[in-house]
Chains A and B, each alone.
Chain A
């Protein structure tokens, strides 16, 4: 079996007083075994909601309206709380943005690590400690024995995030969902953490869903990229293709807006306007009100994510039309 995770026509709604708002709109996505997939978009695009809904972590008023999430052959979107708890933090782990918020400040690192292990299977204290030490070594924490009895505030930001990664590795998961894992960190630390994640995924043959707004980071780590805009995936393809031959006007705009793409000190390409709020997504193509190439059909019909000649899947009426 090749497919590790497959999301099929997922719709996630938020129940508001004025009626449901759709945060994730008909998203289909697969992650193969050991594959690294990047999910890119600006704030409010729905990428975190999508990541959270895979392991049913979306809280009220959000809910999965329809669609399936198939993980290792079974549909986990219909799992009960009890059942999903067996998967979450076990076969699928999650890494969040701010390590200071993820770690409990009043428990030692060792207590937090052992807690995870005991929650997913009974084992002796000695066996649990042995696994903790092994995983801390994997993330290059020096003198792990001493570290187990220390509290989160005794570590620097980069080390805390490495400990969070070690915790996510404890149960040897098949998939890691990392939601902006380096956004709160400095560049030198970011490079170190991304390097580590890449190495671990390769060595352990783990799948990675990397959620980030940073195109440069995602291009260095992942094999495929999905670009999200206003709740939908607008383009999906191999990293090389997305970075060097983007097809969707939004992807092109996003890449063009990066200072490193600009030559010399000229003006940066800018996308006019801002991403619409969930209540104001245009009928037809969600990008139609900011797109410079917009045509009549874009305002009336929503494009579907189809394979185009270039090899990327693109949700745009105009691609392949010249």
Chain B
């Protein structure tokens, strides 16, 4: 059981997963006929590229929970999937315990797949409706341990179901016979079945009701304490992130704006976007006091010049429209990408 945990001092443990300068773009221009565009009286062939993740570096240390927050379309799910190797990155590197894994072949990657597992958002879509849950759980174990005996396999499935609070006698049932919360438990069991060290959870509770969310979050925290798991947690729900994370990364339009320990980030956000985002969290029984953002999120097809946030930032100056800010480390450990914080024209 996870008792009250003190915030761990950052950067003491070993880096389990290292993300260096990761870039992921998607070409959505389609066939060559669709690429033809009329440009100043001439027909040109033009590619349309969505710049989903731009130059992101994050180190994830063993045993910690790192959360990535941001609004829809900011590239947080793309980041998670690229780290898992579900998308090949455009450029940049991904390390697992000092071994570079982003260029490995499928067969070379296989041992890492067992150590890195993923839990998806929608438990209705991520379980095969035509497979009984026992088979869903047996499949990955057999895949990663080809020589396993039948008894051992059954014992492992029963044990993992027990751990997530599902009666092992129910393994002959189909996913539709379970509630949403139970299905998410089964998804977590499937990830746990191959004894991973690192779990990427992409909005694991977004589709669930409040009372069920609490059950799943408690389960995830318990499992982390029992197995020493490392989590990369993707969420748009800031109050959940505040509760479960050691460190939090804030993304906007494919770019990392700010990264800090959860406590520091939520008590003293520095980036103007983080400040606006945190002030918009609805707080129980408190009147609205959010910092209004003007305008809409620009499209990731045509990123603004300079700082990606400059079109909506109330502090934006000439330099912000010209030069992309790089992440700088502040004295309290926060890393932030903002010219205004660097040159002291943004309020703390």
Contacts and interface: CB of A to CB of B under 8 A. Distances in A.
Query: Is B truly associated with A?
Result: yes
A275 B214 CA distance: 14
Nearest to A194: B288
A42 B290 contact: no
A259 B242 contact: yes
A195 B209 contact: no
B210 A269 contact: no
B214 A244 contact: no
Interface stretch (A5-13, A29-37, A127-135, A184-192): A184-192
Secondary structure call for the A interface: helix
For chain A, give the interface size range: 35 or more
Contacts of A269: 214
B243 A187 contact: no
Contact of B282 (A214, A254, A255): A214
Contacts of B222: 267
B72 A195 contact: no
Contacts of A258: 210, 214, 239, 284
Contacts of B71: 186-188
A61 interface: no
Contacts of A214: 282
B244 A220 contact: no
Given A188-B277, A274-B212, A265 B244 contact: yes
B3 A266 contact: yes
A275 B243 CA distance: 25
B243 A215 contact: no
Interface string B1-18: 111110100000000000
A187 B284 contact: no
Contacts of B7: 265
B214 A43 contact: no
Interface-centre pick from A213, A215, A257 (highest chain B CB count, 10 A) = A257
A271 interface: yes
B209 A243 contact: no
Contacts of A261: 284
A254 B238 contact: no
B288 A268 contact: no
Contacts of A192: 290, 292
B47 interface: no
A220 B210 contact: no
Interface-centre pick from A156, A158, A271 (highest chain B CB count, 10 A) = A271
